[in-house]
């Protein structure tokens, strides 16, 4: 090897290299051109699914929870499964934007924006389910501890469902603020690109909050961003920890387990990365951003999946060990029933998708083939949905008293609502790709090749001050 060898880390993150203006142009392009026919088709499909879901939810709220397949034994099924699934999806966004930021993982720059958007949309989908799963959703505001005229009536601070309310609303608020702060420099860029006096310019001017690109502004911005990253980081752990406590603090065998918090967090990151990959692989292709979201990005994410998938697999094993080692007959039965009972198909779907399929990522060939990754991530998405289904339904349907054992079968309304939540998610995501920069323009510029190579050898030498340099002591 002549000269110097680049480590994997030093491999350019934008490949082939681009100039600063090219970056801006390319990222802004989808917002500035008329939507393509395929966009309209995709949006139409998403809105159709959303409409289906809206119809199903309307019917359910108007008629009663009886339109679902629940019964006296199985009080939760699709509703809470979907809720945990969507909350889990959201986790990758926060992990990428906050934790990877703190760990100075430069490769995050081209995926964090859309991952965060995905977080917000997923949390919106998730929040829908606790609302509509209530028997009387019009009284949902009762879960908030607000001063009232009903004597000393207060909420139950011992209830994990209440913790959920706080956890989810905090998570959503912080994620939204974090995302918005991160957007401000780009919004300013878009403002400046828009024609003088146009509505577009007015809107972006309002959103950019007077960004002027000065050194002081950048400094303040970076400080706030760092602080918010620090604030959001514990949320990655806390939200799913608290979601897991919905189950862990109950006394139902199969729910009542101390390993739930780490198990759920790992599962959430696992499913979230799978969903990010699913979306990115499509988006980079459709929007022509393959040089910014490179195979290396994808590969890095598959590595996270291998790790978190391993943790999830370990948790599955641990649950069985605990069930056996505890000597608790109910616990033992629950797990035997999970693997060999009437819902064994769901359990083995989960195992195949979550434990077996990620093992393919040990092969570099698969790790670097976007379409292979896509297929595996779809499996993981399915598997993680089934993980929650297995936890919720198989634990409930056969618990302490055999007299109450029953079977659960979803109705059209429940399936329609699940499909509708995907409709909501994709509708929001597709609109997002049209109205906001999918990749952080400012941050990507900081990882361009010029910043990495020795002075003078850079082919695209541009004054470094033009772009924010977030790294310290790099190159």
Partner 1 sequence: MPHDEKKPWQSLAALRGDPAELARAEREFAEELPVGPGAIASGHAHGALVQLRSGGDVSRRGFFGLMGLSAAAVGIAACQRAPVAKVVPYLSEPDGIVPGVSNWYASACAGCDAQCGVLLKSRDGRPIKVEGNPEHPLSQGGVCAVGQASIVSLYDASRARAPLERGQPIGWDALDAKVLAGLEDARSKGKAIRVVAPLRTGPTFESTLAQFLAAWPGARVARFEPSGELTALADAHQAAFGARAVPSIHLDRARTLASFACDFLGSWVAPVAFARQYAKGRALPLIEREGGKLGQAEGAPPDFARRHWQLEPALSLTGASADRRHPLAPSELVPALGGLVRRLALRSMHPDRAAIANALPRASEPRELAAPLDALAAELSASGAQALVLCGASDLTAQALCVAANQLLGAYGTTIDIASGASLPAADLPLAQLFTELEAGQVGAVIFLGTNPVYAHPDGEKLAELLARAPLSISTADRLDETARDVALLAPDHAPAESWGDSEARRGLTTLRQPALMPLFETRAAVESLSAWSAGKKHTQHELLCARAEAELYPRALHKEPRFDLFWTRALHDGFVETEETPLPASFSVAQLGSLFALPLATPSDTELWLHSSVALRDGRWSNNAWLQELPDPLTKTVWDNAACIAPARATALGLDDGDLITVTANGRSITLPVLVQPGTHPATLAIAIGYGRTAAGNIGNGVGVNAFPLLSGRGPARNFIEARLVKSGGQKPLARSQTQASLEGRPHIRTATLAAWSADPGASNPEEEKLDSLWSGHEYPGHRWGMAIDLGSCTGCSACVISCQAENNIPAVGRDEVSRGREMHWLRLDRYFAGEPDSPEVLHQPMLCQHCTNAPCETVCPVLATVHSSEGLNQQVYNRCVGTRYCANNCPPKVRRFNWFEYRHDDPVERLALNPDVVVRSRGVMEKCSMCVQRIQEGKALARRDGRPLADGEIQTACQQSCPSQAITFGDLNDPNSRVAKLTRDARAYRLLHELNIGPVISYLTRIKNTGA
465 binds partner 1, rule: CB under 8 A = no
Q: Binding partner 1 by CB under 8 A: which of 168, 208, 239, 396?
A: 396
Residue 252 interacts with partner 1 (CB under 8 A)? yes
Residue 401 or residue 465: which is nearer to partner 1 going by CB?
401
- In the bound state with partner 1, the residue whose beta carbon lies nearer, of 245 and 451, is 245
The pair of structure tokens assigned to 378 is 């779809």
* Residue 190: exposure state from Cβ atoms within 10 A (0-12, 13-18, ≥19): buried
Q: How far is 131 from 242, CA to CA, in rounded Å?
A: 17
Q: Least distance to partner 1 from the beta carbon of 61, Å? A: 10
Q: Tell me the site size for partner 1, rule CB under 8 A.
A: 51
Contact 320, 253 (CB under 8 A): no
Of residues 28 and 61, the one with the C-beta less far from partner 1 = 61
Contact region with partner 1 (CB under 8 A), list: 156-164, 211-219, 258-266, 290-298: 156-164
d(CA 132, CA 141): 12
- Rounded CA gap, 398 and 72, in Å? 12
> Which residues ranging from 253 to 312 are in contact with partner 1 (CB under 8 A)?
none
Candidates 43-51, 218-226, 264-272, 393-401 — which segment interacts with partner 1 by CB under 8 A? 393-401
Say whether residue 402 binds partner 1 (CB under 8 A): yes
Residue 342 lies near partner 1 (rule: CB under 8 A) = no
Of 358, 165, 189, nearest in space to 277 by CA:
358
CA distance 79 to 62: 17
Residues 6+ apart with CB under 8 A from 186: 27, 436, 437, 440, 441, 442
Least CB distance to partner 1 at residue 137 (A): 8
Those residues with Cβ within 8 angstroms of residue 190's Cβ, 6 or more apart along the chain or in another chain: 28, 31, 200, 204, 208, 437
Q: 233, 265 in Cβ contact below 8 A?
A: no
411 touches 56 (CB < 8 A): no
Among 21, 36, 58, 63, binds partner 1 (CB under 8 A): 63
Q: Which of 383, 371, 294, 313 has the alpha carbon at shortest distance from 346?
A: 383
Compute how many other C-beta atoms are within 10 angstroms of the C-beta atom of residue 14: 19
Residue 339 in the binding site for partner 1 (CB under 8 A)? no
> Is the bond preceding residue 16 a cis peptide, omega within 30 degrees?
yes
Helices (H) and strands (E) in the chain, counts: 17, 0
Interface with partner 1, residue 399, by CB under 8 A: yes
Choosing from 17, 30, 53, 160, the residue that interacts with partner 1 (CB under 8 A) is 160
Answer yes or no: are the C-beta atoms of 79 and 415 closer than 8 Å. Answer: no
Beta carbons of 309 and 353 less than 8 angstroms apart: no
Does 62 sit near partner 1 (CB under 8 A)? Answer: no
Give the residue, chosen from 70, 111, 232, 292, that forms a contact with partner 1 under the rule CB under 8 A: 70
- How near is the Cβ of 239 to partner 1 at its closest, in Å? 17
Q: How far apart (Å, rounded) are the C-alpha atoms in residues 282 and 303? A: 19
Distance CA 317, CA 263 (A): 11
Would you say 435 and 207 are in contact if contact means Cβ atoms under 8 Å apart? Answer: no
Work out which of 6, 154, 324, 345 binds partner 1, going by CB under 8 A: 154
The answer to whether residue 151 forms part of the interface with partner 1 (CB under 8 A) is: no
CB of 406 to partner 1, least distance (A): 4
Tell me whether residue 214 or residue 403 sits nearer to partner 1 (CB atom): 403
Q: Segment near partner 1 (CB under 8 A), from 46-54, 131-139, 347-355, 366-374?
A: 131-139
Stretch that binds partner 1, among 5-13, 72-80, 300-308, 311-319 (CB under 8 A): 72-80
Residue from the set 401, 454, 455, 473 that interacts with partner 1 by CB under 8 A? 401
Nearer to partner 1, 33 or 150 (CB): 150
**Binding letters toward partner 1, positions 350-369, x by CB under 8 A:** --------------------
Q: Which is nearer to partner 1, 253 or 423 (CB)?
A: 253
Give the separation between CA 200 and CA 435, rounded to whole angstroms.
Answer: 10
Contact between 170 and partner 1 by CB under 8 A: the answer reads: no
For residue 284, count other CB atoms closer than 10 A to its CB.
Answer: 24
Specify the stretch interacting with partner 1 by CB under 8 A; choose among 41-49, 159-167, 225-233, 415-423. Answer: 159-167
User: Which residue in the set 1, 34, 139, 455 belongs to the binding site for partner 1 (CB under 8 A)?
Assistant: 139
Q: Does 161 bind partner 1 (CB under 8 A)?
A: yes
Nearer Cβ to partner 1, position 134 or 355?
Answer: 134
Span from 103-111, 272-280, 329-337, 372-380 in contact with partner 1 (CB under 8 A):
329-337
Contact 404, 72 (CB under 8 A): yes
What is each CA distance from 195 to 27, 29, 191, 210, in whole angstroms? 17, 15, 8, 17
- Residue 143 or 312: which CB sits closer to partner 1? 143
> Tokens representing 217?
């502004």
Q: Write out the residues near partner 1 by the rule CB under 8 A.
A: 63-66, 69-76, 130, 133-137, 139-140, 142-143, 153-156, 158-162, 165, 246, 249-252, 329-330, 333, 396, 398-407
């Amino acid at each position: 090897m002549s000269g110097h060898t680049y480590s994997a880390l030093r491999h350019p993150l934008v490949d082939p290299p681009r100039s600063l203006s090219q970056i801006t142009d390319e990222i802004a392009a989808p917002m500035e051109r008329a939507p393509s026919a395929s966009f309209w088709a995709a949006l139409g499909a998403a809105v159709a699914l959303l409409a289906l879901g809206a119809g199903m939810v309307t019917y359910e709220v108007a008629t009663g929870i009886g339109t679902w397949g629940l019964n006296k034994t199985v009080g939760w099924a699709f509703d809470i499964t979907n809720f945990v699934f969507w909350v889990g999806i959201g986790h990758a966004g926060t992990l990428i934007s906050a934790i990877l930021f703190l760990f100075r993982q430069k490769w995050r720059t081209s995926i964090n924006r859309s991952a965060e958007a995905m977080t917000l949309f997923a949390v919106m989908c998730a929040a829908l389910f606790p609302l509509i799963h209530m028997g009387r959703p019009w009284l949902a505001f009762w879960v908030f501890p607000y001063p009232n005229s009903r004597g000393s009536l207060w909420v139950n601070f011992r209830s994990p469902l209440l913790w959920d309310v706080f956890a989810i609303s905090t998570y959503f608020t912080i994620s939204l603020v974090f995302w918005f702060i991160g957007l401000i420099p780009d919004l300013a860029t878009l403002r400046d690109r828009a024609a003088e006096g146009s509505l577009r310019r007015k809107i972006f001017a309002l959103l950019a909050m007077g960004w002027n690109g000065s050194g002081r502004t950048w400094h303040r911005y970076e400080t706030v961003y760092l602080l918010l990253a620090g604030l959001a980081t514990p949320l990655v752990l806390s939200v799913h920890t608290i979601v897991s406590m919905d189950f862990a603090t109950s006394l139902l065998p199969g729910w009542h387990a101390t390993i739930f918090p780490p198990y759920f967090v790992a599962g959430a990151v696992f499913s979230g990365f799978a969903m990010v990959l699913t979306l990115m692989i499509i988006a980079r292709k459709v929007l022509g951003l393959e040089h910014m979201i490179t195979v290396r990005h994808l590969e890095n994410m598959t590595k996270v999946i291998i790790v978190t998938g391993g943790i999830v697999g370990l948790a599955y094993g641990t649950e069985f060990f605990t069930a056996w080692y505890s000597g608790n007959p109910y616990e033992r039965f629950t797990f035997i029933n999970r693997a060999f009972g009437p819902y064994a198909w769901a359990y083995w779907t989960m195992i195949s998708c979550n434990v077996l399929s990620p093992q393919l990522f040990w092969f570099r060939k698969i790790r670097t083939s976007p379409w292979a990754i896509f297929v595996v991530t779809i499996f993981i998405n399915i598997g993680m949905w089934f993980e929650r289904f297995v936890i919720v339904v198989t634990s409930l349907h056969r618990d302490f008293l055999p007299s109450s054992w029953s079977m659960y079968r979803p109705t059209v309304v429940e399936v329609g609502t699940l499909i509708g939540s995907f409709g909501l998610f994709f509708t929001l995501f597709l609109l997002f790709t049209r109205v906001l920069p999918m990749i952080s323009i400012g941050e990507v510029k900081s990882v361009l090749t010029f910043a990495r190579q020795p002075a003078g050898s850079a082919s695209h030498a541009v004054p470094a001050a033009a772009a924010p340099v977030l790294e310290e002591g790099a190159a």
